[in-house]
């Protein structure tokens, strides 16, 4: 029924407790058995790959997760066979049918263990890191994987022959040099026409000396750049007294866990020996002769296409001191610093079962562990096995995901979306499976080394992906809790998550509240805001501290409101105070035009939905001054109404995130439309016709099978890098239609 390409069928997604592995012509459904077998691929099959994974980036750079979806749907799909409630109003009936259709389709994508696997690609600087780890350690990926990676990299080459930071971005030096080098590592000839053009892009923009610092790091590892041209990472800072406001334990955990292995590589000046490829690359990516480059002068050279965060004078001073210290550092202190860093790296590996907190430290930790213990060590082999957890196959090839998945997050949203109206109860089996996944994903134990390595207490929390990843997140805990309560409230299933565990989750959420009343991501804000002045990344903003965010705060406030209703006797006054302070934070973040800026998805419609949802849920319950709350909702609705497009939908581009101003998309987007509708309906906006115009857009964009097409990219991090949430195109339209159904159709 669907157009499945021949070689797509050879790729099969294996899942186990939320773990994802794409297997080529697998002989086993078992992940660990599969990983032990080499895969065979013929030249014919490689040719077929090139044919079957042709992808037209210029019509839409976002792939639609077709390989996974077609496999999940193809043979088994059936239209909903149950009894569909009937309305007298034909317009209402259309909504009912579309909602059932949408949910029915979506249930086919659910894995046996209850979550919704999906494409979590988008950034283009991740796969190169993993390829460098595999190259330096002499641990190549199987041929089939390598071919698929090549296809992906070429598929995302821009018209000007360069590559962006992410699939929708304009070309940058970081994107272009990293993909170029990756393709060469994968064996593409330098005379390939696409590479000749890419080289021209690089030289027209000043050559690879202008690659930002994270790129300088990777090139140094490859012996394509001199460590001398890299600002010191001052490994000794890990030995600083902990009370110092700039001790790295206070950094945002992602920065901390990336700069940690980077500091190890820097201290050890890890680099691959010269070889033919490296010598050739040195000639390919620079304008000047490699040996003639004055490296120490390149430390702060950044191509203007890449410069997003301008280094502060404080950072420049700090670099001056640390670079000077580097020339006369004391070997025994360095040794101590390195021993500490290695101990910390091992702890992170053990705490996450070698998944690591994210895709960047996954690659760099692998390099450190290979360097410290060797290719044949148990530790390194464990790393290699987890490389596959980050790889994803879609119709644009094989990419590296931005995390080991978005399992818990999507499952919690999907569950809440479906249970928003009674129609969700028609899919009791699906809800039972997602509840089981949510149950298994709640973190039950603390690591023995959690305090030693600055981890936030996590018993009762939920992670973003899987329990094995084991990094708790404040708003993921909130979503996990809200979804749990929604399932309990539906009475569809006998509760597995008991009162004690719900209380643990509430405690975790309370423990995550910052003194500004808001909630951050993984930890409390641990350092003063001026620490941001030391952000050395050039391409990201606000990476130094875990800041409070509107969305995270709203999610926590909402879950506390729900928990308080279900368990009114538990910590009543403490929760009351927490909600009040959370609301104050949300109100403070609201902009003059009534919107909120979203830090984790595109963008103002996303955060405005969150802000409105929290405020409207709190209205009339004595947590805050209701007149103030009503005023805020009114302004938010005015904002949303003002952004509705003539077709009735809403649409923003990723530039809203990087430019911090609402940037309207040419075409309305189902995901933005759904967020705006959810916000308006939550706020009880009284113009039903306006809401119906939006709903009609969702209906008109729905495919017969119940799916929606993949439009523009939805997710973001650190303002400047975009990330794919492939399940959002189903979850949010379903949620908006459920809400419409509950408000206007349900008896």
Task: Using CB under 6 A, list all residues that contact ligand LAN.
Answer: 254, 258, 358-360, 402-403, 409, 464, 473, 475-476, 521, 540, 551-552, 600, 717-718, 723
| Minimum distance of ligand LAN from residue 406's CB (angstroms) | 7
Which residue among the candidates 306, 389, 396, 475 is catalytic per the annotation?
Answer: 475
Nearer to ligand LAN by C-beta: 230 or 717?
717
Give me the residues paired with residue 109 across strands. none
Note whether 348 and 361 are within 8 A (CB).
Answer: yes
C-alpha 37 chain-centroid distance: 30
Query: How far is the first Cα of the chain from the last one, in angstroms, to the nearest whole number?
Result: 37
Is 475 a catalytic site residue? yes
Beta strand 19-24 pairing with 11-16: antiparallel
Nearer to ligand LAN by C-beta: 616 or 718?
718
| Minimum distance of ligand LAN from residue 72's CB (angstroms) | 23
Whole-angstrom distance, CA of residue 393 vs CA of residue 375: 27
Note whether 522 and 456 are within 8 A (CB).
Answer: yes
| Minimum distance of ligand LAN from residue 311's CB (angstroms) | 17
Nearer to ligand LAN by C-beta: 212 or 648?
212
Nearer to ligand LAN by C-beta: 419 or 552?
552
Placement of tokens 């109206």 in the chain = 421
Note whether 618 and 557 are within 8 A (CB).
Answer: yes
**Can you give the C-alpha Rg of the chain in angstroms?**
25
Residue whose beta carbon is closest to ligand LAN? 717
| Minimum distance of ligand LAN from residue 173's CB (angstroms) | 17
Nearer to ligand LAN by C-beta: 61 or 123?
123
Tokens of 567: 């368990």
Question: Taking the C-alpha atoms of 594, 597, 598 and 604 in order, what is their torsion angle to the nearest 10 degrees?
Answer: 50
Nearer to ligand LAN by C-beta: 73 or 657?
657
Nearer to ligand LAN by C-beta: 602 or 637?
602
Whole-angstrom distance, CA of residue 644 vs CA of residue 637: 11
C-alpha 637 chain-centroid distance: 29
Whole-angstrom distance, CA of residue 668 vs CA of residue 684: 23
| Minimum distance of ligand LAN from residue 422's CB (angstroms) | 28
| Inter-CA distances, 638 with 127, 137, 272, 463, 740, Å | 42, 57, 58, 35, 20
CA angle 181–182–187, rounded 5-degree value: 95
DSSP one-letter string for 179-231: HHHHHHHTT--TTSHHHHHHHHHHHHTT-GGGS-HHHHHHHHHTTSS-GGGS-
| Minimum distance of ligand LAN from residue 702's CB (angstroms) | 25
DSSP one-letter string for 92-116: HHHHHHHHHHHHHHHHTT--TTS--
| Minimum distance of ligand LAN from residue 473's CB (angstroms) | 5
Nearer to ligand LAN by C-beta: 45 or 655?
655
Placement of tokens 């994508």 in the chain = 109
Nearer to ligand LAN by C-beta: 228 or 353?
353
Q: What is the helix (H) or strand (E) element at residue 737, kind and residue range?
A: helix 728-740
| Minimum distance of ligand LAN from residue 408's CB (angstroms) | 9
| Minimum distance of ligand LAN from residue 37's CB (angstroms) | 30
Note whether 201 and 161 are within 8 A (CB).
Answer: yes
Note whether 587 and 509 are within 8 A (CB).
Answer: no
> Catalytic amino acids?
475
């Amino acid at each position: 029924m669907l157009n499945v390409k021949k070689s797509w069928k050879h790729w099969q997604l294996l899942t186990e407790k939320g773990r994802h592995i794409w297997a080529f012509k697998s002989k086993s459904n078992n992940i660990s058995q599969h990983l032990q077998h080499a895969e065979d691929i013929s030249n014919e099959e490689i040719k077929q790959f090139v044919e079957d994974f042709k992808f037209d980036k210029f019509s839409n750079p976002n792939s639609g997760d077709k390989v996974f979806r077609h496999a999940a749907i193809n043979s088994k799909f059936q239209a909903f066979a149950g009894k569909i409630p009937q309305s007298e109003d034909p317009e209402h009936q259309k909504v009912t049918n579309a909602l059932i259709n949408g949910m029915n389709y979506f249930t086919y994508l659910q894995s046996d263990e209850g979550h919704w696997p999906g494409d979590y690609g988008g950034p283009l600087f991740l796969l190169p890191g993993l390829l460098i780890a595999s190259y330096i350690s002499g641990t190549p990926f199987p041929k089939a994987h390598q071919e698929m990676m090549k296809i992906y990299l070429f598929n995302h080459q821009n018209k000007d022959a360069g590559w962006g930071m992410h699939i929708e971005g304009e070309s940058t030096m970081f994107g272009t040099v990293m993909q170029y080098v990756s393709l060469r590592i994968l064996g593409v000839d330098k005379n390939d026409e696409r590479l000749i053009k890419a080289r021209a892009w690089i030289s027209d923009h000043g050559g690879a000396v202008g690659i930002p610092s994270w790129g300088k790091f990777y090139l140094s590892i490859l012996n394509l750049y001199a460590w001398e041209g890299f600002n010191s990472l001052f490994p000794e800072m890990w030995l600083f007294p902990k009370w110092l406001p700039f001790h790295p334990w206070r950094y945002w955990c992602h920065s901390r866990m990336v700069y940690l292995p980077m500091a190890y590589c820097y201290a050890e000046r890890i680099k691959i020996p010269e070889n033919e490829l490296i010598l050739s690359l040195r000639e390919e990516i620079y304008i000047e002769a490699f040996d003639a480059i004055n490296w120490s002068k390149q430390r702060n050279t950044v191509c203007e296409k890449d410069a997003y965060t301008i280094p502060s004078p404080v950072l420049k001073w700090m670099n001056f001191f640390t670079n000077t210290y580097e020339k006369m550092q004391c070997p025994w202190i360095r040794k101590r610093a390195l021993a500490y860093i290695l101990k910390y790296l091992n702890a992170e590996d053990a705490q996450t079962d070698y998944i690591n907190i994210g895709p960047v430290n996954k690659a760099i930790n692998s390099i450190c562990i290979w360097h410290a213990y060797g290719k044949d060590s148990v530790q390194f082999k464990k790393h290699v096995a987890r490389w596959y957890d980050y790889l994803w196959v879609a119709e644009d090839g094989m990419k590296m995901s931005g995390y080991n998945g978005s399992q818990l997050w999507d499952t919690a949203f999907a569950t809440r979306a479906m249970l928003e109206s009674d129609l969700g109860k028609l899919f009791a089996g699906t809800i039972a499976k997602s509840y089981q996944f949510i149950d298994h994903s709640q973190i039950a134990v603390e690591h023995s080394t959690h305090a030693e390595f600055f981890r936030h207490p996590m018993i009762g929390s939920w992670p973003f992906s899987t329990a094995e990843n084991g990094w708790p997140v404040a708003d993921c805990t909130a979503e996990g809790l809200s979804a749990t309560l929604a399932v309990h409230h539906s009475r569809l299933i006998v509760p597995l998550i008991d009162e004690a565990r719900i209380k643990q989750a509430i405690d975790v959420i309370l423990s995550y509240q910052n003194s500004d009343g808001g909630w951050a991501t993984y930890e409390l804000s641990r350092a003063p805001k001026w620490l941001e002045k030391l952000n050395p990344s050039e391409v990201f903003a606000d990476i130094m501290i875990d800041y409070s965010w509107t969305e995270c705060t709203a999610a926590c406030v909402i879950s506390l409101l729900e928990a308080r209703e279900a368990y009114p006797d538990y910590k009543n006054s403490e929760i009351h105070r927490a909600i009040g302070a959370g609301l104050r934070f949300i109100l403070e973040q609201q902009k003059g035009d009534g919107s909120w800026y979203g830090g984790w998805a595109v963008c103002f419609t996303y955060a405005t939905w969150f802000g409105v949802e929290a405020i409207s849920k709190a209205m009339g319950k004595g947590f805050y001054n209701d007149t103030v709350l009503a005023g805020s909702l009114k302004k938010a609705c005015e904002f949303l109404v003002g952004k509705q497009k003539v077709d009735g939908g809403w649409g923003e581009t990723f530039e809203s995130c990087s430019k911090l101003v609402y940037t309207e998309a040419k075409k309305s987007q189902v995901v933005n439309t759904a967020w705006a509708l959810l916000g308006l309906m939550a706020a009880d906006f009284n113009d039903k016709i306006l809401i119906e115009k939006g709903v009609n857009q969702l209906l008109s964009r729905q495919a017969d099978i119940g799916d929606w097409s993949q439009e523009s990219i939805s997710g973001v991090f650190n303002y400047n890098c975009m990330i794919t949430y492939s399940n959002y195109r189903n979850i949010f339209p379903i949620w908006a239609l459920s809400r419409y159904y509950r408000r206007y159709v349900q008896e």
